[in-house]
Amino acid sequence: MPKISAATNVAQRAETQRKILTAFGELLFTQGLPGLTMTDVARHAGIGRTAVYNYYADMEELLVSYALTETEKFVAELRDGLNTLENPVDQLALYIRAQVEDLTRRHLPPGPAMAAVLSPKSFSRLADHVGELNSLLQQILRSGMAQGFLPLGDVDALARLILGTLSSTASRAKAQEPGSPELEGQIAATVRFVASGAGAVFDDDGRPLVVAPVQSV
């Protein structure tokens, strides 16, 4: 039997881990977290239950790994998208759309529910990544205020209100089919509602207008 090279072994482990996380994510989407077992994940991934335990000690560890992996990928893709836009109101619109689409697609439990099923240490790891998304939103808001596209205000309070609105919208949007006109309509309405609520004003062609003197915030 030929000897397996280190590179091949690493690739094989990465592929098995990908299968586990993919299976877990698909089961979260179809049946949710309550009642989900490692056996369910192994069966859906097409691998042995023991193999799953070689990567994750329990459901909590698997949930945390899935959430961190998805969040890291989402943040990286979001940053890439934001870097293609110059106007902070356009960046805010992209942030809103991306967040609602992601929250609708991933079907992770909301923050309070995650806190109830995870240990404080595990929840703290997730909170760090959620904090990164919050910081990104605050950067967009500060930029909008500094450039005069948004009126000056309490950035921290505004960010909390926006994130709460996005979570609420995503909960309702989960009843819609991905890519459906109904879902697109909900997302578009949320984008305009949140942007207008933050103080953005648009011309007849939908372009953001300067509403306040440019200044440092």
Residues 190-212: pLDDT tens digits? 999 999 999 999 998 889 999 88
Residue type, 188: A
Mean of per-residue pLDDT scores for the chain: 85
Provide the pLDDT confidence category of residue 40 given band limits of 50, 70 and 90.
very high
Give yes or no for a contact between 21 and 29, defined as CB atoms under 8 angstroms apart: no
Looking at the DSSP bridge assignments, the partners of residue 201 are 209
Provide the pLDDT confidence category of residue 185 given band limits of 50, 70 and 90.
confident
Separation between Cα atoms, residue 26 and residue 18, nearest integer Å: 12
Provide the pLDDT confidence category of residue 2 given band limits of 50, 70 and 90.
very low
Q: What is the pTM of this model?
A: 0.79
Residue 154 has pLDDT above 80, yes or no: yes
Q: What is the pLDDT of residue 5?
A: 45
Residue 215 has pLDDT above 50, yes or no: yes
Q: What is the pLDDT of residue 112?
A: 54
